[in-house]
Amino acid sequence: MIPQGSKNSRRKPDSTDKLTDGLFSGVLAIFIETGVSRKRLQVWQRRFEDLGGTILTAAANLLGRVDQIIILAAHEAALSKGINFDRLGSCPNLNFVQFRWVEECLKDGTLLSYEPFLLSASQDEHILSTDDSRLDAQSGPQSDQLYVTPALAIVPDGDLRACSEVVNEKRYDEVSEECTIDTKFKAICEDDMPDYNKHISRPLLELSEIYSDVLADEWRSLTYRKVANKLDRLPYQILSADEVKNIQGIGKSMVDKIKEILCTGQLQKLFNLKASSQVQIMQQFASVWGIGPKHALKLYQAGHRSLQDISEDQTLSPMARVGLKYHYDIALRIPQSEVSEAGSFVRHVLEDLCPGASIIVGGSYRRGNATCGDIDLLITHPDGHSHKGLLGRLVTKLEEAQFLITCPNPFTENITHKVNTYMGICKLPQYTHHRRIDIKIYPKQAYAFALVYFTGNDVLNRRIRYLAKKKGYKLSDQGLFLRVGDNKTGMASEVSIPCETEEEVFQKLGLPYPEPHERNW
Ligand SMILES: Nc1ccn([C@H]2C[C@H](O)[C@@H](COP(=O)(O)OP(=O)(O)OP(=O)(O)O)O2)c(=O)n1
Ligand SMILES: [Mn+2]
């Protein structure tokens, strides 16, 4: 269940709320078909869904588990025909809105207030004619105040699960002061991306990944991904497969799979795929640095069944050859102490080469993890120009010191590039194993963004990118860019909003600053 107050304040349409991408994100709507041509309806529905809205059928049985929904109709008369109030349950923020609202939002590119588009349908009459708990809600504080108090009174009798969810939820600003920054941070981000149905969407996404990464079936992969995304966007928890039937774009075979997950907790098809020898072999091929899923499939189709087999294949790229050569070592986790020593080793060389340069060991090391998959180094120079041409000189020194062992593609530095990267293999003299290392040099104005990105983790990065997008920005390792024009084209300003520190980046996004060790999501 959604935190009542915060969702309400976040979602309440406001004409100043300049949203571009995901215009209708989080908005649940029922489209009443009466009084409008099918073609027009379909156009609106498609745009509404493309921009993040979720369409439910009029038969949707929501049992009071959503706290806001809009009913879109051509006119008032159409309303009485289209809705079953009992199935809808009592929703604290039920608005009856003209289709024109969708059209105007699309024209304007913003989520407009419902106010000028409201249709009068007497929800009150309905509430008064049903049970006592709804009467309580009705006689209690009106509209807005209903959201800030847990809406127990409006949860239908007998739906205990829904009740406890409402009670357990807290608004972000109700989160107690002594709770960690981590909790607060997650409270904000997760409020934007609810996880009510992750237990269903996760296996579907896994299946989607196997279809794209291993079976190279992009179409099936996309179908599963789309459904998983739809479920992720729902602001309430799916309790039965019947409810899924009411979500537009989910067909019978998908409903059956969701039913299976809900009933058995797993998906036999996924289980079988993961158990198949072909999938396992291809996953092993794809575990080699430099071998992607399509290549893994080609190698399998060429008759290869082991890493030994593929080592003789002529189609391997230089990176895959290096990946295969060091496969055993690369697969090992690296102890934190060794990553630290590798960082110090490079720092000493860098200090001699370019006094004043900054170097930070990023990735899982910076988040304080006990072991790391690789070594991520980020370098800049505060004077704004000495970073240019630095990577080539540094790599040469580190090769001479026999710390950098090999880099699959001949290393060339482009000083006009915003970031220069070395990706290769290194080894400290006193250690046994070869390790994967990435060294990245950024100009100082991008360094704070690069630090945020390369500290991760990837889940947090996805969350904050999503948050940035909703606020009309594009966030990357190189900056925070204001999006301009039609969001479909994905155009963003070329000049980043300046941020010198990570704190500023989080501040610009409206987030409290999480320490690196609080970024393990
Ligand atoms: N698909 C990806 C890959 C990376 N990153 C970012 C977040 C990661 O934290 C950082 C470094 O990438 P790594 O793959 O090195 O991941 P970690 O350092 O976090 O973990 P590991 O211990 O596996 O290296 O880059 C990301 O956002 N999305
Ligand atoms: Mn890493």
**Across 251-267, average pLDDT:** 92
What is the CATH code for 28-179?
3.40.50.10190
- The residue behind tokens 């107690």 is 176
Q: Give the number of the ligand closest to the Cα of residue 456.
A: 1
Helices 268-275, 198-209: axis angle to 10 degrees equals 40
Note the pLDDT of residue 170. Answer: 29
Q: Give the number of the ligand closest to the Cα of residue 363.
A: 1
**Across 278-303, average pLDDT:** 91
Position 487 confidence tier, pLDDT thresholds 50, 70, 90: low
Q: What is the DSSP string of 36-64?
A: S-HHHHHHHHHHHHHTT-EEE-TT---TT
Query: Which tens digits make up the pLDDT trace of 435-484?
Result: 999 999 999 999 999 999 999 988 789 889 988 988 899 999 999 999 88
Q: Which residues face 157 on adjacent strands?
A: none
User: Does the pLDDT value for residue 124 go beyond 60?
Assistant: no
* Domain locations along the chain: 28-179, 198-309, 334-442, 456-518
**Across 123-134, average pLDDT:** 33
The residue whose CA has the least distance to atom 13 of ligand 1 is: 363
| Least trusted range by pLDDT, from 113-122, 187-196, 260-269 | 187-196
Helix (H) or strand (E) holding 108: helix 100-108
Q: Are 286 and 296 in contact (CB under 8 A)?
A: yes
The residue whose CA has the least distance to atom 1 of ligand 1 is: 458
Q: Are 26 and 234 in contact (CB under 8 A)?
A: no
CATH class of 334-442: alpha beta
Range 456-518 classified under CATH 3.90.470.20 = no
The residue whose CA has the least distance to atom 12 of ligand 1 is: 363
| Tokens read off for 122 | 């007497």
Q: Please state, in angstroms and as integers, the Cα–Cα distance from residue 360 to each residue in 284, 320, 441, following that order.
A: 32, 28, 11
> Is 0.80 surpassed by the pTM of this model?
no
Position 385 confidence tier, pLDDT thresholds 50, 70, 90: very high
Q: What's the CATH number of domain 198-309, 1.20.1070.10, 1.10.150.110, 3.30.1330.40, 3.30.1280.10?
A: 1.10.150.110
Terminal-residue alpha carbon distance, the chain: 21
| DSSP one-letter code for 330 | H
Task: Locate the DSSP E strands across 118-217.
Answer: none
The residue whose CA has the least distance to atom 5 of ligand 1 is: 458
Output the CA 208–ligand 2 centroid distance in Å. Answer: 25
Output the CA 376–ligand 2 centroid distance in Å. Answer: 5
Encode 88-119: b = buried (16+ Cβ within 10 Å), e = exposed: bbbbbbbbbbbbebbeebbeeebbbebeebeb
Note the pLDDT of residue 176. Answer: 33
Residue type, 449: F
Q: Give the number of the ligand closest to the Cα of residue 289.
A: 1
Pick the closest to residue 307 from 337, 292, 328 (CA basis): 328
The pairing of strands 54-56 and 28-31 is: parallel
Distance, CA of 55 to CA of 285 (rounded, Å): 41
| Cβ < 6 A, ligand 1 pocket | 363-364, 372-374, 376, 453-454, 456-458, 461
Distance, CA of 483 to CA of 469 (rounded, Å): 8
Catalytic residue among 245, 257, 469, 470: 257
Active site residue 186: no
Q: What is the number of the ligand 1 atom nearest to the C-alpha of 460?
A: 27
Encode 63-75: b = buried (16+ Cβ within 10 Å), e = exposed: bbbbbbbbbbbbe
Note the pLDDT of residue 351. Answer: 97
Output the CA 279–ligand 1 centroid distance in Å. Answer: 24
Output the CA 106–ligand 2 centroid distance in Å. Answer: 41
